[in-house]
Amino acid sequence: MLADLEELVVCESFSADHAALARSAGVVGALGARLLGAEPERIVIEGVTHLRWVFGRPRVLLLGHHDTVWPMGTLRSHPWSVVDGVARGPGVLDMKAGLVQMFHALASLPSLEGVCVLVNGDEEVGSPTSRELIEQSAGGCAATFVLEASANEQGALKTARKGTARYEVVVHGKAAHAGLEPHKGVNAAIEAAHQVLAIADLAASVNTAAADHPGSALGAATITPTLLSAGSTLNTVPALARISVDVRVPSRAAQDRTDALMRGLTARTDGARLEVLGGRRRPPMEPGSSAELFALAGRITEELGQEPLRGIAVGGASDGNYTAGVGCPTLDGLGGVGSGAHADYEHVVVSRIIPRTRLLAQLIARTQR
């Protein structure tokens, strides 16, 4: 398994490099073909390469991705290594260890009947070309197992995830000379300042509306202005400003409420005009979507003599949000155990690879028929 993991890690697969993704898909496809005894369907959408294996009529979906956040050439500063029981390298945790564990778990089963495997190439950028493929593959399945990394170094599974949305508020003003006749302009930067404060206050309204649903494991909605730009030159009243907004919500109701509030923003400066772009991205993966599968995983770990499992709700999103969103029971975080995803210290604890593979194999075996 370590040899297979090394082969995947040293084949860099930055999300933005479609040629690298094609090479990576070739390596992942070859590994899957060797262990599953079947070639994958190779699906290229807008230059991004995805892989799918289907065995009979699917009842269980195994979901992973082969793209990473690491730019090409990162291997030079973050080389593959295994030292003192810890494996390192770009994408080793997020999520190439999960792919290796998935293929080996499947290879250990007497039959693959009822299994669908989908490995997409654009998860790290929101799965824009693969969302429809993911939702289509999950439709009709009794379970989806997501091979994203565990929630922490103790191996907790991800039993709930916040939904996401991204907006851009474009402020249209009017340019004028800042020294000669600023009064003839409409300052988009000043209007943007008003909007940043207004946007920052929206979360309180969303969370107040959700107060009749207390105790959510996912916590409160967050609405965060992030990137901000305005103006063109130092001596010109800004005619244009842009505000990027990151949204994380615990429920579909909160997502709907947030969308309505964002689109209801109004200008505070005479002559200014607002344009709200973007919207919902991933739906929330609410705790109910994973409850039965998490209970099954707990029984299996007890039977296998493994330490008890913990489930954690997390703010980050994954493709599991999409499968849960179409009504497929979903359990996430079944991949590598370690920490440092997207960080310089990204690593996988080698001793946890085989136990997690055995857990996954049993989960598949008990849901594939």
pLDDT tens digit string along 101-124?
Answer: 999 999 999 999 999 999 999 999
pTM above 0.85, yes or no: yes
Round to whole Å and give the CA distance between 236 and 229. Answer: 14
pLDDT tens digit string along 319-341?
Answer: 999 999 999 999 999 999 999 99
Provide the mean pLDDT of the chain.
96
Please report the beta strands in the chain, taking only residues with DSSP state E, as ranges in sequence order. 41-45, 48-55, 60-65, 81-83, 86-88, 115-120, 143-146, 157-161, 163-172, 222-230, 240-249, 273-280, 311-314, 330-331, 338-339, 347-349
Cα distances (angstroms) measured from residue 287 to each of 35, 216, 229? 33, 8, 37
pLDDT tens digit string along 298-317?
Answer: 999 999 999 999 999 998 89
DSSP helix, strand, coil percent of the chain (3-state; round to 5):
35, 25, 40
With a pLDDT cut of 70, the percent of the chain lying above it is 98
- Look at residues 112, 126, 219 and name the one whose alpha carbon lies nearest to residue 166: 126
Q: What average pLDDT does this structure show over 205-222?
A: 73
The pLDDT of residue 79 is 98
pLDDT value at 216 more than 70: no
Contacts of 301 (CB under 8 A, 6+ apart): 307, 308, 309, 359
The pLDDT of residue 215 is 45
Residue 17 amino acid letter = D
Round to whole Å and give the CA distance between 139 and 61. Answer: 9
Among 210-214, 232-236, 343-347, which stretch is predicted with the lowest mean pLDDT?
210-214
**Domains in the chain, CATH or no CATH each:** 2-161+284-365 (3.40.630.10), 163-280 (3.30.70.360)
Q: Do residues 331 and 323 touch, judged by C-beta distance below 8 A?
A: no
- Look at residues 293, 364, 288 and name the one whose alpha carbon lies nearest to residue 332: 293
Q: Which residue has the tokens 């080389």?
A: 79
pLDDT value at 211 more than 80: no
